[in-house]
Amino acid sequence: MPDDSQVRAFYTGKNFFITGGTGFVGLCLLEKILRTIPDVGTLYLLMRPKKGKEISERLEEFPKQPVFEKLLEKNSTDIFKKIVPVAGDVGEDNLGLSPADRQMLASNVNVVIHSAATLDFQENLRPTVKINLLGTRRIMELCKEMKNLKVMIHVSSAYVNSYLKEAHEKVYEAPEDAEKVISLIGTLSDEALDEIEPKVLKSHPNTYTFTKHLAEHEVVKCAELFPCTIVRPTMIMAAWKEPIPGWTSSKVGPQGFLMGASKGVVRRLPMAKDNIADYIPVDVVVNQLLVAGWHAAKAKSGLSVYHCSTSTCRPFRWAMLEPTMNEMLHKYPLKSAVWYPHLKFVPSLWLFKLSAIFVHFFPAILLDTLLRVTGGRPILLRLNKNVWSSLGRLEIFIFGEWLYHNPNTLDLCKQLNQTDKELFYIDVSSLNWLEFFNNLHLGVRRYLNKEKESTLPAARSKDTILMVLHLIWQVLILSLVWYLFACLTGLTMTGCAWIAPVIYILYTCL
């Protein structure tokens, strides 16, 4: 039977060059290609030595990654021979490539997917310019040398336009002259860069969105030379369907705070629960990269831009999940939980900080003390301090709301035949958010908290014990405040018994 997948037919026999292949999106992308395009050519993967391991050693660890479980059900580890690691770094001149490797890539590569970036919102201009802006420029320079390049796929972010409340699928005017920015990082000290950063960024909230915006213009410059496509995901979440529902390796965003909430450590979240939160599953992002590349390659040159988003077609609001959030935490609890899980959304930053003193910092001090006594490593107070210090930088993303219009993506859906609509699905209209977050919670439990399904009975028993201890803790706190109030007012405990329900109501409001 002939293969009627147009997308798979295009990529069959093609050689890829992929950056960012060891990251969250990159691993899912490699898995998808190896599993659904078995006759793909070579996957050249730009890698750098890490933690004292050479790139060949890092590649040997791939089969152990949970993301490849489904792939290895029908394939041996020989499938990974299609991946060829290439030593390099997007943050270095000439990508850190040896002349021989550069020539090899220029001669053999047909498809480039550039996903590497620094995502740290705290970084100053120097590293973000070197990696996000100059890294993209270096990739485009290499693309110009490729003799048989069919398409260049650039992974951007919808938030490059986060200074706009609504954004469309086009490249907006550059926020600053790239050469001027590059000159600044080449001549100024870190202190001087930090000082002028607000003036350089203008309306951009951080150096990440700013440099990723400039990076898009590096792609635009080459659009007349070969086909280019820019895909802009929003906040990337766990897998919806593939390779395993709920799979994740990322601790960013909801995945991270669900990890903490499951342990009972994260108990309050600042949240505009009625705002649209634009989340997109990682498998949809991967599919859209491949579909966008297939479609762009139909032309000899040109640029297409796609929003990989849900805000205008399948919007999610945290208010949808709020009624069942804690039920979910206790249905699938953790054996490693340290406190009785209970998550509550608070509508402002000042209220979160106030409540955090009582529900985060006091328990953290108590639990860290217990860890010290039992020989453990106290980390909870430090973790809460880190969260506290990052709130200012994240406030715009916590309480902001954006609409990312995606007519190009919707049109791309229509151009897929039935086989490709199922194999490389990018239509999120049927996404059930409650089911998705249930799978996400299970994925966080398994892949981030490292707990197997077999631990559930023991975890549920512990959850009951933690509930009793939590109630005792609340009674002790209430009694202590009641006693202190009596001492301060000179009243007897019985004489000011009315304060007990007042304290309880105020405590539950925090």
User: How does pLDDT run across 353-388, given as a tens digit for each residue?
Assistant: 888 887 877 777 877 787 788 877 777 777 777 776
**pLDDT above 80: residue 401:** yes
Q: What is the pLDDT of residues 7-48, one digit of tens each?
A: 999 999 999 999 999 999 999 999 999 999 999 999 999 998
For residue 127, whether the previous peptide bond is cis, meaning omega lies within 30 degrees of 0, is no
Do residue 495 and residue 482 come from a single domain? yes
User: What are the structure tokens assigned to 493, written together?
Assistant: 């405990």
Residue 276's φ and ψ, nearest 5 degrees, are: -75, 125
Reduced to 3 states (helix: H, G, I; strand: E, B; else coil), residue 156 is: coil
What pLDDT does residue 1 have? 37
Rounded distance between C-alpha atoms, residue 314 and residue 280, angstroms: 10
Helix axes 433-443, 254-262, angle to 10 degrees: 60
Of 448, 469, 488, at which residue does a domain stop? 448
- What range defines the domain where residue 429 resides? 6-250+277-316+400-448
210 within some domain: yes
Q: What is the pLDDT of residues 158-181, one digit of tens each?
A: 999 999 999 999 999 999 999 999
Rounded distance between C-alpha atoms, residue 287 and residue 295, angstroms: 12
Rounded distance between C-alpha atoms, residue 278 and residue 471, angstroms: 36
Instruction: Report the candidate in 268, 253, 443, 272 with the shortest Cα–Cα distance to residue 341.
Output: 268
Do residue 437 and residue 478 come from a single domain? no
Do residue 458 and residue 444 come from a single domain? no
Do residue 417 and residue 510 come from a single domain? no
352 within some domain: no
336 within some domain: no
Rounded distance between C-alpha atoms, residue 24 and residue 420, angstroms: 23
**Structural domain count, the chain:** 2
The per-residue b/e assignment along 251-279, b for 16 or more CB within 10 angstroms, e otherwise, is eeebbbbbbbbbbbbbbbbbbbeebbbbb
Q: pTM of the full predicted structure?
A: 0.92
